[in-house]
Chain A
Amino acid sequence: MNPSDLIPATEAIPAPSGIFIALGLITFTLHILIINTILGGGLITLFSRLRSPDQENSDHFYYPAVNKIPTMFALGVNLGVAPLLFIQVIYGHLFYTSSILMASFWIMIIPLLIIAYYGAYIHARKYFPAPFLSKSAILITILIVLYIGFIFVNNLSLMVQPEKWTIYFDNRSGIILNLSDITLMPRYLHFITASLAVGGLFLSLIWTIRQKKEVNGAAERVKSGLKIFGYATLVQIGIGLWYLLTIPRDFMLQFMGGNIFYTIIFLIGFLTPIGAVFTAFKNKFRPTLIMFFVTIVCMGFIRYFLKIMYLDDHFSPDGLTIQPQYGVMALFFIIFIAGLFSIAYMVKIALSANRRRAV
């Protein structure tokens, strides 16, 4: 059976594909940052608590993460909905197919996610009253987030490899993973180490803010966060190179001069984390953060380039028919901006309420 024959027919899209791809890329980047923070923050908290179980107090370096994780969940899910929506517009036919192949694992994400979310609340609420329960809860939350990440990596990699889909004819109960893909492990580890790095950076961000409020010991903690970021990023560079070596050779060569644009982005994405490691170890928060963001943007692009290369033989978003709904699209952007304003307003009054209290 020719795998190309298995690819479902596409449907017309209501605006040029670039708009959806861009929206997907932006929202996904924000989403994954938050998920990284949840996982990284969770891991750092759990390790620290397990390492020094007797020191349960709110003065800890990691403690700010404890209460932020549940809120992060809410934002992470909301920001996850958007890329999930936009990916379906462009790649829906591929994405549904790979999801069905692993349907049993895929649908388990939902009940597990509910448990993980409640776990984050239990972790925060029972931090002092029931430390064991609290630690168990965050452990479960972490394991679930790891599971969800693993399934997502499987799905998104299987989605772009229709040549592997024929395995469905041997097993139709939705338990097919993409384990034979040699990029799977480095790709997955790339996500986990990124989480540690982002978790560290997130904590140093919080302590940087507190440092400005002249909270005692804040400077020391900014340093701890950056240290975690630095080490994790060092490992991450290694995993990134491993990942690079596992992708098909001609894809790799595109990043090695084969395609100038790809190569430039790749070079920036390769150099900025190295720079960030240096600045992190030198305890310089702001340049680290800036280089980190540049890296993230590059990684988002590289991820997209890879998708294009994988799908080259099978599908190009440029080929999609457009049946424009520009009026509704305009309405979306208006509502989006209005929504941002009202959220900004609420955040503003929340922050000023905080300040009032501080005074």
Chain B
Amino acid sequence: MNYPVWELTSIGGGSLIALIAVLHVYIAHLAVGGGLFIWLTDRKAFKDNNPALHDYIKKHTWFFLLLTMVFGGMTGVGIWFIIALVNPAGTSMLIHNFVWGWAIEWVFFGGEIAALLVYHYQFERLTEPERNRVSFLYFLFAWLSLFVINGILAFMLTPGKWLETQNFWHGFFNPTFFSSLAFRSFMCMIIAGLFAFVTTVRIKDSIFRKTMMRYTAKWLIYTMPGLILSAIWYFYSIPQDIRNTAFNINPQSALFINIFILTTILIFIGGIVFSLRIEERWQKIITAVMILVGLLWMGGFEYSREIARKPFIISHYMYTTGIKPADAENLNHAGILKTAKWSAIREITEENKLQAGKELFNLQCLSCHTVNGIRNDIIPRTKDLTYLGLIAQLTGQGRVLKYMPPFIGTEKEKKALAHYILEELQQKPVSDKESEINLPILEDTISEFNPAKSDYVLLCWSDLGMHCISDAEKWFTILPPANTMEAQLIKRGPVPELVSENIELTYEIEDGFKNPAQHVDFWKYSEMTFGRKIPYNKGLTGNGLNGVFEFDENRNSFKAEAIPVVPYSDAGIFNPYPLFTIKALNKGTGELLAKANVVAPASTKMGCLNCHEGNWRFKNRAGMADETAINILKIHDRINNTELYKSAADGKPQLCQDCHEDPALNTEGKPDVLNFSAAMHGWHANYLPYDDARSCILCHPANPIGITRCNRGLHNSLRLVCTDCHGTMQEHSLSLLKGQVEKPASAALMANLTTTNVNSTDDVEPRTPWIKEPDCLTCHQDFEKPAENSNAFNIWNDEFEELYRIRTDNAEIRCPACHGSTHALYPAKNPYGKQRDNLQPIQYSGQPFPIGSNNTCEVCHKTKMQDAIHHENMEHAFRNPQTAP
């Protein structure tokens, strides 16, 4: 924010820091441990009166000096140079707060140099006690250097009480000070041993060499328990939240931790091997390998520590971008470009938005990411995101996956950055996946009903207003084709009765929709996703596209479960509302008692591609393309450590609900995994840039200009939107997540979600998806007209039977029988046909309103009635006649 940015786009400043730092730290630890090695070994030479050892240590010191004083010393200065170039704000902070610490370290550095020079150049001239004192002083100064630098490095990871007091000593003696000092001290000794092999293997006298190999190997072997114990101490002295972000959430850390653990084992084995008798040639080769292993070891550790600190350069005080969390709120308001001193753009316009995006990229991305470079390359990381996907990434970044800092800046700035990444870096245009489509208007098929003669009224409905299908079965299955239809048959008369005895109810889908297996891969992969081979064109319960209803005593209705309806016709037309014809027959005689028509809403228009890239699979109109599905799996794998993509690529796609419990599919899932709805909503609520109904229609097929337009009922005509019943995206998610508080992921997903309709997260009532839903009677108290600005959010049904789709009136007629399916309440406006969703009201009463409304009691009763026995307040004219299509 304060400084210009060095545009090192492909190499990346971070890579340079890593390169210089890892090399330096390796040698710097040698400088400390080697000091101890020289001191003790020289003492031993003196005590044992061993001239060979005396010569050895003299030679070793020369090698040691050339390596530590020249390479080690200069790379140490190099770290200062490079961090000031790449992260000047962080460097400045460390300098200003710890200048006296650095100055003290400088004194120790000076002492080190003086001692080593005197020791080396006067090796033969000093008396042995003098030499021993000088070598001890060297070690002391070197270790004190470590003592000081360790304090500041540990501070960056765990500033502890300093965050409140800003007191030097609180920062210096921070929560990981002693543990990391102990750990690093053991590392120093091991590295001293590693490098001692370089000179040991060159000893000419083979017997002495053998003795020395054993002596040196001890530095690797005997230090190991100390190293491991101090590593455990160090690990557990890091606060829990930092450990969680670094080692559970950040997928990058695993590699480096593994490298560290593996190389630790290799070093130990190396120590053992060196103490055995091996050929001289092998000794040299193994030594060279061990020096590299040591470098990897150091790299693994230092990288793990760096990663552990993410997204901060100084934990909880300053992000890697140099921005302080404390300033974030102001900057989000004022804007980054206006505040940053070195931005060429202050005000974003249509013309300069790409350049503005680049400035933002420099300020907020370049400190960690390269462009086509070796480290954290932004190109592959953003390749599979659309413009909206990028916006979502920038919105959600730092919320759940806390290893990245949040995007800081205004909404306009966020958009400019997304434009820059997409158009400039990815060279892709912004494409809108949801353009307005002219839909075919189909003819309404209305069965016959004679008010005077007909003896039966057949009411049938789909149990959902829309059944979504994820038709990417090759990769995964969220929802299989499975529409459930229900029906009730009423025998007309002054006292109508629900009949089921000796009745057979059949269903048949319209022509052209009878071969779903031709259009989707559900059957091809059913063994993988549902554990059994499902016959072609049959559904999960064995129902086909035509068949017979079963009577459900509990619900007092006929039911045909899981009919495998797909919206693709054999003629290549997309129609998410194929029509069913339902017939009620006398079981004995086969006489047709009643006939009615109803749509089976089914859509493959899941909006994943809005963010996850890819095109529509079916005629560029609907369906999930491979690209989108693969992208989703890869992201899931990366974040959750799964191997779903590999499994699917090997021909074994999985059902999401196998792990994610789901009452809709009746799966149990895995015990620690969130249920499907909570996971989907909870995760995405953290990313989606909107909190209102716009976020719902990004995924669900309810876009009013889209190809499905599933929210088509009365409420939609009255301009009520999703959030009026379900709450905002974040509230909706909170209610689901609170229903899963016992699951580990729940708290992290909830942490950054906020409420609109209630005061706080604490006030959100938990719910189980599909079991507890918004209740109609929350707004329609006593079945009355709702008050102005009513909202149904947060009051869920107590009992399963109180769900709209299950509930009955006082005469055991189910709510949807008269009012239609959820989201398609009569009078509904179906985009594919004027009365396509109101066929039964039209058939029975010639009006699109609920069955029996406007006092059309005669539909069932054959005559007008006086009392409203079905539910209260129904004996009046339909309140919203203007909503008729």
Contact = CB atoms under 8 A, between A and B. Distances in A.
Contacts of A82: 103, 106
Interface string B85-112: 1001001110111011111101111110
A174 B126 contact: no
A119 to B, nearest CB: 10
B114 A81 contact: no
B106 A89 contact: no
9 contacts: A7-B341, A71-B121, A74-B73, A96-B85, A99-B85, A100-B5, A110-B74, A168-B342, A332-B104
A50 interface: no
Interface residues of B, number: 62
SS of B interface (majority): helix
A74 B103 contact: no
B708 to A, nearest CB: 48
A77 B74 contact: yes
Interface stretch (B76-84, B639-647, B665-673): B76-84
B126 A13 contact: no
B6 A103 contact: yes
A219 interface: no
Interface string B117-153: 1100110011100100010010000000000000000
B69 to A, nearest CB: 6
Contact of A100 (B71, B88, B95): B88
A136 to B, nearest CB: 18
Contacts of A339: 107-108, 110-111
A354 B108 CA distance: 25
Contact of B70 (A8, A12, A96, A121): A121
Contacts of A80: 77
Interface in A343-359: 343, 346-347, 349-350, 353-354, 356-357
Contacts of B109: 78, 81
B748 interface: no
Most buried by A among B78, B84, B93: B84
Nearest to A110: B78
Query: Considering the complex of A and B, which 5 residue pairs feature the smallest CB-CB distances, nearest first?
Result: A8-B2, A353-B125, A110-B78, A96-B88, A328-B100
Contacts of B85: 96, 99-100, 103, 106-107, 174
Nearest to A357: B125
Contacts of B92: 11, 88, 92-93, 96
A76 to B, nearest CB: 10
B54 to A, nearest CB: 16
Contacts of B16: 107
A118 interface: yes
B74 A14 contact: no
Interface residues of A, number: 70
Interface string A63-88: 00000000101110110111011101
Contacts of B77: 77, 80-81, 84, 110, 113
Contact of A85 (B66, B99, B108): B99
Contacts of B100: 14, 325, 328-329, 331-332
Given A13-B99, A71-B117, A335-B107, 6 more contacts: A8-B341, A101-B4, A172-B7, A328-B168, A339-B107, A343-B114
B881 to A, nearest CB: 65
A48 interface: no
Contacts of A20: 99
Interface of A: 5-9, 11-14, 20, 23, 71, 73-75, 77-78, 80-82, 84-86, 88-89, 92-93, 95-97, 99-101, 103-104, 106-107, 109-110, 113-114, 117-118, 121, 165, 168-169, 172-174, 323, 325, 327-329, 331-332, 335-336, 339, 342-343, 346-347, 349-350, 353-354, 356-357
A325 B93 CA distance: 15
B162 interface: no
Contacts of A12: 96
B569 interface: no
A174 to B, nearest CB: 5
Contact of A81 (B6, B66, B106, B169): B106
Contacts of B103: 23, 82, 85, 332, 336
A110 B747 CA distance: 47
Contacts of A92: 88, 91-92, 95-96
A324 to B, nearest CB: 10
B320 interface: no
A147 B84 CA distance: 20
B199 to A, nearest CB: 17
Given A347-B118, A356-B125, A113 B74 contact: yes
Given A77-B77, A342-B137, A173 B8 contact: yes
B110 A88 contact: no
Nearest to A75: B113
A353 B92 CA distance: 44
